[in-house]
Amino acid sequence: MASLSRIGSLTAAAILLASAAVAQGYPDRQVTMVVPFAAGGPTDTVARLVAEKMSADLGQQIIVENVGGAGGTLGAAQVAEAEADGYTILLHHIGMATSESLYRELPYNALEAFAPVGLVTEVPMTVVARADFEPADMASFVTYVKENADTITMANAGIGAASHLCGMLLMQALEAPIVTVPYRGTGPAMTELVGGQIDIMCDQTTNTTEQIQGGTIKAYAVTTPERLDLFPDLPTAAEAGLPGIEVSVWHGIYAPAGTPQEAVDRLSTSLQTVLADPELSTRLAELGTAPSPVEDGTPEALSAKLSAEIERWRPIIEEAGVYAD
């Protein structure tokens, strides 16, 4: 009978051989990118742009699968439980960090259940309203909302969605308990805003730019430290006296924990190539955002971002006392 040390050596050798095979042949078939939100939403838009470019670089198609529900946790849980072979990956946004506090019984640990690949983009948020909302500018918006909070409705795409988080910061900054109306995704929320059934919303430029430019909604401010080149006339929330509303929706790519490092490295290298692609920059610029710097398209950068954001949002969510379960 082989000794335990001999068996251990054989096992280690098998793992090394398997890793070498991954390094030489990955990917040799289609890759599935899970987006934990509905098709047509802002995160889906980013995912499809990136998947198209990475497909060309990897030489294998990356198909986008939308698995919406529970603030993005259903899709994330599906990837956490998927086979760790590099053929199922996740593109998620800031909700990967905030879900750690929003859900008291989360079926996975964001820091342990995934192998980070890299950051993709940080999308600014905009404070918008129905086209005929009364205030003419952000200064009058602040005054008006404070005085009429009990009659104003604010849409979001569900608890834990970026629009919900931004709206929560807005209410805290205004010290105004606005009536919030959750929807099953950003698409339905925007439809209601355009139709005038809802008064205001806070959402990503990837979902609001076209509507702002078309005049179907009214824009008041951006949530970035500086004004956006796309909307130079829109003030920052800080300029309007609301410095607490600084939030962007960062997106990252993850694989299940245990995915061979060679596969993670290949995905990261591909992502970095895509982040440097001028066409991707142009297409994202049209949506009011930009690719992350190439040096942020790494596992280390995404891991650091995720950890920092979990700690940033925990006290904010606990103070609000709003949970998704």
Same-domain status, 285 and 189: no
pLDDT value of position 14: 45
Least trusted range by pLDDT, from 21-30, 131-140, 225-234, 240-249: 21-30
109 and 97 fall within a common domain: yes
Kindly state the average pLDDT of the residues 28-41.
Answer: 93
Please check whether residue 264 is in contact with residue 86, taking contact to mean a CB–CB distance below 8 angstroms.
yes
DSSP-based three-state secondary structure for 27 = coil
Point out the domain boundary residue: 216, 240, 264. 240
Give helix 95-102 / helix 299-320 axis angle, nearest 10°: 40
- pLDDT at position 24, please? 64
297, 275 Cβ separation under 8 angstroms: yes
User: How many domains would you assign to the chain?
Assistant: 2
Structural domain ending residue among the three candidates 240, 263, 292: 240
Q: Assign 121 a pLDDT band (cuts: 50, 70, 90).
A: very high
Tokens for 58? Answer: 């990897």
| Strand-pair partners of 308 | none
d(CA 284, CA 299): 22
Is residue 194 located within the same domain as residue 260?
A: no
Q: Which domain holds residue 77?
A: 29-123+249-320
Tokens for 235?
């003030």
CATH number of the structural domain spanning residue 192: 3.40.190.10
Confidence of residue 319 (pLDDT cuts 50, 70, 90): confident
Per-residue pLDDT at 18 exceeds 50? no
Mean pLDDT score of the chain: 90
- 8 occurs within a structural domain: no
Distance CA 49, CA 311 (A): 30
Residues 163 and 68 in one domain: no
Give the mean pLDDT of 192-209. 94
Are β-strands 200-204 and 114-130 bridged in parallel, bridged antiparallel, or unpaired? antiparallel
299 and 232 in one domain? no
Structure tokens at 173: 């900054």
Residues 153, 159, 164, 165: what is their CA dihedral angle, to the nearest 10 degrees? 150
- 235 belongs to a structural domain: yes
Asked whether residue 118 is domain-assigned, the answer is yes
- For residue 279, give the CATH number of its domain: 3.40.190.150
Q: Within a domain: residue 76? A: yes
What is the DSSP annotation of 131-174?
Answer: TT-S-SSHHHHHHHHHHHGGG-EEEESSTTSHHHHHHHHHHHHH
Tell whether 171 is covered by a domain.
yes
Q: 0.75 exceeded by the pTM?
A: yes
Specify the 3-state DSSP secondary structure of 83.
Answer: coil
Query: Residues 253-286: pLDDT tens digits?
Result: 999 999 999 999 999 999 999 999 999 999 999 8
Point out the domain boundary residue: 201, 217, 240.
Answer: 240
* Residue 1 within any structural domain of the chain: no
Whether residue 211 is found in the same domain as residue 258: no
**Residue 211 belongs to some domain of the structure:** yes
**89 plus 137 within the same structural domain:** no
Distance CA 261, CA 264 (A): 5
Alpha-carbon distance of 87 to 160, in angstroms, equals: 27
Structural tokens at position 21: 């095979």
Is residue 16 predicted with pLDDT exceeding 60? Answer: no
CB 281 within 8 A of CB 291: yes
Residue 19 lies in a domain: no
